[in-house]
Amino acid sequence: MENINNFDQEPNEYFNKIEKQILKSVETITKSLLETFRFNFVYSKKVSEKQEKLTEKSVKTYRTKYWKMALNKANKDKNRAYKIYTKNLKLLS
């Protein structure tokens, strides 16, 4: 978002532009929250508690393994490791 002191437009135009940016951000966040809620609701209805715990454990093991691999590949640089880790996640999906 732009610095409010650095604008060349009329105040109303500038406000309208910023308002649209804010509304778009709010809409994106809201959609994400609704999708998360929907997933959790359906997941809890379809998956047994035992399976949920197994899945949670598997995901944790998977994430730990790939985070350690990324960290080693990045020579312990956490910022580089994060980029490697997230890039690998995108390749797997």
User: pLDDT of 16-65, one tens digit each?
Assistant: 999 999 999 999 999 999 999 999 999 989 999 999 999 999 999 999 99
CA Rg value for the chain: 21
| Residues 6+ positions from 18 with CB-CB distance below 8 Å | 1, 2, 4
User: pLDDT of 68-85, one tens digit each?
Assistant: 999 999 999 999 999 999
In the chain, count H helices and then E strands.
Answer: 3, 0
The span from the CA of 7 to the CA of 20, in Å, is 16
Classified as helix, coil or strand, 23 is helix
**What single letter denotes the amino acid at residue 83?**
K
